[in-house]
Amino acid sequence: MTAASTAIVIGAGIAGPVAATALKQAGISATVYEAYPVASDGIGGDLALAANGMRALGIIGVDDAVRAIALPITGQIMSVNGRGLELPGLDGVEPMQMVGRGELQRVLHDRAVEAGVDFHYDKRLATVENTATGVAASFSDGTTATADVLLGADGVRSTVRTLIDPAAPGAGYTGLLGFQGSADLDLDLDPGVMTFAFGKRAYYLYWRTRDGRVTWGANLPSKQYLSTTDARKIAAADWLTTLRETYAGDTPGEELANLTTEDTLQVLGAIHIMPPIPYWHRDRMVLLGDAVHAPSNSTGQGASLAIESAIQLARCLRDLPDPGSAFAAYEDLRRERVEKITRRGARTNSAKTPGPVARRFMQTAMPLFFKLMNFEKTIGPEQRYAIDWDERVTVPPA
């Protein structure tokens, strides 16, 4: 018998639809409630799914649909002061798949609907009450819903997190604001080769797309925290001025900023990183995805970890007799892995704004550093991680 028959899933980003589909596959009926009025809220930007995330998507049969909308990242270059060095890859591991966030959410939504999941939009979770047999969720429009368990896949500003523990720490701010732009620039670069560039004042990354344009992401250092909404209140023209000043003198950052226009600039706002969260679950509520483990964009793992957690949580609810033991087993399977990757993200974030001396050192030391660095040891366990869906979950040792 499963730990629950019905589940409310809060959030139709990435973790939510994957969890709902996996729950259906596990014999548990799931309904998704999303605060935004429509599917794919237009937050914009692209994200790269790592091999571990793609493998986990295969469990719910949506990996090929994602590959069909993706650009495989076939090469990676690290560049300091405009001088690049090719990064080694992992043997036999699928390349990262770059996808538009909106398109990814549409594909995940469509797969969930195909599996029998219902979606309700314009439903912002406000409170949750425990009932004798389950949970009752109330939404800000006054409506309610009941189920055996409630999954909080509601992102870095999670409401469910504070309902589980009012004292839970909030998402940390990396000190970086995210932007994405697109430029018509003739760079000698194959489509799918990604460059991670340390500019004079800020970090950025860029890659050529199939249409020949160059897409780039900027990580702008900013003492002021600006949510996506607040950052978007500032005119795109003003942000372009700031980005052009920031990347002036960088190759090709200066040209990328100069050639990006207001209509192709996407303002993404503060980039977050979650500190360790003491309580992942309480009673019949549990957290997954960025709500509990946002490792920051520097890891390239946020979405992939969210997908893995969604699948592992569904396995635990399928195999264990009650929500408490299922949630404990899920946390046991996930906590160490996600916190380790988050620590790597924090280290990378602090290296994104090196001073001039550190940059000169990086440029000289980089070839030796890469020669000595064991990519298989650092990145291998992240990307080779595989979930055996058919294996039965057992209660973790006390």
Ligand X SMILES: Cc1cc2nc3c(=O)[nH]c(=O)nc-3n(C[C@H](O)[C@H](O)[C@H](O)COP(=O)(O)OP(=O)(O)OC[C@H]3O[C@@H](n4cnc5c(N)ncnc54)[C@H](O)[C@@H]3O)c2cc1C
Binding site for ligand X (CB under 6 A): 10-16, 33-36, 41, 45, 47-48, 124-125, 153-155, 159, 178, 268, 271, 289-291, 294, 297, 300-304, 306
Closer CB to ligand X, residue 269 or residue 319? 269
Closer CB to ligand X, residue 16 or residue 319? 16
Closer CB to ligand X, residue 30 or residue 303? 303
Closest approach of Cβ 365 to ligand X, in Å?
Answer: 26
Closest approach of Cβ 301 to ligand X, in Å?
Answer: 5
Closest approach of Cβ 300 to ligand X, in Å?
Answer: 5
**85 closest CA partner among 371, 377, 350:** 371
Cβ proximity of 72 and 95 under 8 Å: yes
Closer CB to ligand X, residue 25 or residue 383? 383
- Residues 26, 107, 327, 137: is their CA dihedral positive or negative? negative
Cβ proximity of 15 and 310 under 8 Å: yes
**Element of type H or E holding 106:** helix 101-115
Closer CB to ligand X, residue 147 or residue 319? 147
Closer CB to ligand X, residue 204 or residue 319? 204
**174 closest CA partner among 358, 359, 350, 292:** 350
**104 closest CA partner among 14, 41, 230, 16:** 14
Closer CB to ligand X, residue 151 or residue 329? 151
Closest approach of Cβ 309 to ligand X, in Å?
Answer: 8
Closer CB to ligand X, residue 51 or residue 268? 268
Closest approach of Cβ 386 to ligand X, in Å?
Answer: 17
Which residue has its beta carbon closest to ligand X? 13
Residue with tokens 């794919």: 40
Closest approach of Cβ 299 to ligand X, in Å?
Answer: 7
Closest approach of Cβ 13 to ligand X, in Å?
Answer: 2
Cβ proximity of 22 and 314 under 8 Å: yes
Pairing of strands 214-221, 172-183: antiparallel
Rounded distance between C-alpha atoms, residue 121 and residue 210, angstroms = 33
Closer CB to ligand X, residue 99 or residue 316? 99
Pairing of strands 149-152, 193-198: unpaired
**Element of type H or E holding 93:** none
Closest approach of Cβ 186 to ligand X, in Å?
Answer: 25
108 three-state secondary structure: helix
DSSP assignment string, 132-193: SSSEEEEETTS-EEEESEEEE---TT-HHHHHH-TT---PEEEEEEEEEEEE----S--BTE
Closest approach of Cβ 203 to ligand X, in Å?
Answer: 12
Closer CB to ligand X, residue 119 or residue 198? 119
Query: Exposed e or buried b for every residue in 260-275, given b needs 16+ CB within 10 A?
Result: beeeebbbbbbbbbbe
Cβ proximity of 151 and 316 under 8 Å: no
Closest approach of Cβ 128 to ligand X, in Å?
Answer: 10
Cα separation of the two ends of the chain: 22
Q: Which structure tokens are listed for 18? A: 């994957």
